Structure 1
Amino acid sequence: MLKYSLLLLIVTTCLLGACSKSLSNGDTAFDVQVNATDLAVGDTATFSFRGNPDVITFYSGEVGKRYEYRDRISADGIPTLRFRTIRANGAQANSLAVMVSDNFEGVLVKDTPATVSRITSATWTDITARATLSTGGTAAVVSGSIDLSDFSTKGKPVYVAFKYQGFAGSAQSKWTIDSFSVKNVLADGTSYEIANMNAGNISFTNYGVPSFSPGFSAFRVTNSYYWVVNNTTLVITGATSAAAAAPAEAWVLLGPVDLKKVTPDIGVQVKNAAQRAEDLKLIYKYPAVGVYNIVFSGGKVSSEEGQYTTKTFQITVK
């Protein structure tokens, strides 16, 4: 029994020792040197490295590449909606409304009746008066910048919708909407697109960082007229003659939209575990005048751990 206990103690000690051993051969410490910190536009900064970290990531300090915003996904700004419209065929008044809701419960996939019920039971705020809409003609009319700050202060995601109505007695309007965009404009002048005409599986970029829009969905409430949705336009055509005109209602909507959304900044990897730091040089050119706070983040990484340190520089480009 004593031999068994001693053997068990030895095996346990070995296992604990193995578990405590790092799976990485890298170090957390490393060093970076730069040839100059004052540059003219068009000059290059050359960085060299020493040490044995598994990875080194470079944050240039430019918008979209700032270390301090690498985990930021939300920021207070002014959420701004813009789009363009063209009205053709009939000239029925109040045939297009711009609507916003923060309590619509969402689209139910493959259950149109239930989704329509959710649309009609949700509370929608009509913001049409904030927009400039087409009154006819072939030229697209820009809506102007529509401030949605009164919705963002509630801290809830919203749905944005276009509600079409057709009426009996006269030819009904055809509406074309394009250039739809919602942006979060921050106090520092940066602007982050958070929704656009793209389908939900088609990415766009903010300062080089990929993001996605929720995509539009279309639903009929009454009559057979339907919004046609693609990646560039939203189009609905009602009855083209008074004789064919009958009451109609159809919606096209997008959401949920977080009006405080921003895309996190990203860095560029300059070293991986297979490379020697001493063999690497990073040559970087800043395209514009400014003061840039550069951060190199590096360290030891494995499937079990991640330990990092940073090296910082401030470069002035004149």
Structure 2
Amino acid sequence: MKKSLIILLSFFAAACSKKLETDTPSFDVSLDPARMVSDTFTYRLGDTTRFRFSGTIGNIAFYSGEAGKRYDSRTSTYKLGQLTLSFSSKAESGTQVNTLQVLATNKLAGLDSVSVMNAEWTDISTRGALATSATVVPFGVADVTDLVANENDSLFIAFKYSGVTGSQQRTWTITEFTVNNVLSEKTVPLSALSTDVAYWTRYGNVWSPANGRWTISASDLKITGGNSSASTNTSWIITKPLYAGRVPPDVSAGIKSVNEPDKAGYAYAYPAAGVYRATFVAFNHTLDEEKQIVREFIIKVTP
């Protein structure tokens, strides 16, 4: 009995330790040979590029070669281009001046009020235009690349509001806020109001009345000034850390999954003239193993 148990346990151990293997895909792609000039397949803008498949494959992914959809950029990288800041503002109520500052830093010792207010901030208010009335004024596109050390650095943008007692305080509204890393091949968004609602942080030493603090929505940042008897109010709002040179991976389009039948081909219309490296990745996989085949084509789209 004991010997039988040992044999049985050995059998199960061997079964559990066996690697789940898969087969290398059998996959080929072809295009109309009449379209080939040298090693490039040429199309006119508006044409449909028709790729023909052969073989049996579990999964197929397609990288068109457009910006954001390139096989060579399928992993995260760090690359610093030009960092740009833009937004629009309007200032309502009262006549107090110099009530809004636009600040930036790459050095925050912590995210508590003391650390934020005592940090080495650079005043970038004059790198663009701020409103002086209820008329919305675009700040412009400000270059803030000089405020980071390299592609691995981070950046914080802050709006600092100062209202004083004795006269009607200003009400400020910030809209269309964006920070981008502009590369030659694409623009990487680092921050926008619509995506970062949950990531803005407010600081201040006086919030009286209660609405004398920044409010955040997907469309604007706003601070409402008090009347002439309201307390002097200093209120900050800052972005999340903006990782200056972080470039997220390019993405592919899923053409086929393992649960779908084999496909005869794929049609794609390029939206703009240019030269593209179209890449198909065919792969089979298990929990333990993946095997793939890559097929690439140079596609030229003329106006």
In 1, distance between residues paired with 2:66 and 2:20? 38
Q: What corresponds to 2:18 in structure 1? A: 19
Off by >4 Å, runs of 4+ in structure 1? 10-14
Secondary structure of 1:92's match?
Answer: coil
Distance 1:32 1:245, change over 3 A: same
* Amino acid paired to 2:276: Y
Secondary structure of 1:119's match?
Answer: helix
Q: How far 1:84 sits from its partner (Å)?
A: 0.7
In 2, distance between residues paired with 1:141 and 1:239? 23
Q: How far 1:143 sits from its partner (Å)?
A: 0.7
Which segment is superposed worse, 224-233 or 27-36? 27-36
* Amino acid paired to 2:157: V
* Amino acid paired to 1:249: T
Secondary structure of 2:240's match?
Answer: strand
Q: What corresponds to 1:204 in structure 2? A: none
Kept in 2: contact 1:79–1:152 (CA 8 A) = no
**The one of 92, 104, 108 aligned to 1:104:** 108
Q: Which runs of 5+ in 1 are unaligned?
A: 108-114, 202-213
In 2, distance between residues paired with 1:140 and 1:149? 26
* Amino acid paired to 2:97: A
Q: How many residues align?
A: 289
**The one of 250, 253, 256 aligned to 1:268:** 253
Asked whether 1:95 is paired with 2:99, we answer yes
The residue correspondences of 1:34-53 to structure 2 (distance < 5 A) are: 34-35=31-32, 36=35, 37-53=41-57
TM-score, structure 1 as length reference: 0.81
In 1, distance between residues paired with 2:105 and 2:301? 46
* Amino acid paired to 1:148: V
The alignment yields a C-alpha RMSD, in angstroms, of: 2.7
Q: Give deviations 1:37-87, integer Å, cap 9, x for gaps.
A: 221112111112222332111111111211111113432210100011111
Q: What corresponds to 1:160 in structure 2? A: 157
TM-score, structure 2 as length reference: 0.85
In 2, distance between residues paired with 1:231 and 1:275? 39
Kept in 1: contact 2:201–2:240 (CA 8 A) = no
**The one of 231, 242, 246 aligned to 1:257:** 242
Q: What corresponds to 2:87 in structure 1? A: 83
In 1, distance between residues paired with 2:179 and 2:116? 21
Q: How far 1:142 sits from its partner (Å)?
A: 0.8
Asked whether 1:233 is paired with 2:217, we answer no
Percent of aligned positions with the same letter in both sequences? 29
Kept in 2: contact 1:132–1:142 (CA 8 A) = yes
Q: What corresponds to 2:181 in structure 1? A: 184
Asked whether 1:222 is paired with 2:219, we answer no
Q: How far 1:223 sits from its partner (Å)?
A: 4.0
In 2, distance between residues paired with 1:141 and 1:38? 46
Secondary structure of 1:222's match?
Answer: coil
Q: How far 1:254 sits from its partner (Å)?
A: 0.9
The residue correspondences of 1:167-316 to structure 2 (distance < 5 A) are: 167-188=164-185, 190-200=186-196, 215-224=199-208, 225-241=212-228, 244-277=229-262, 279-316=263-300
In 1, distance between residues paired with 2:91 and 2:18? 70
Q: How far 1:199 sits from its partner (Å)?
A: 4.9
Kept in 1: contact 2:58–2:282 (CA 8 A) = yes
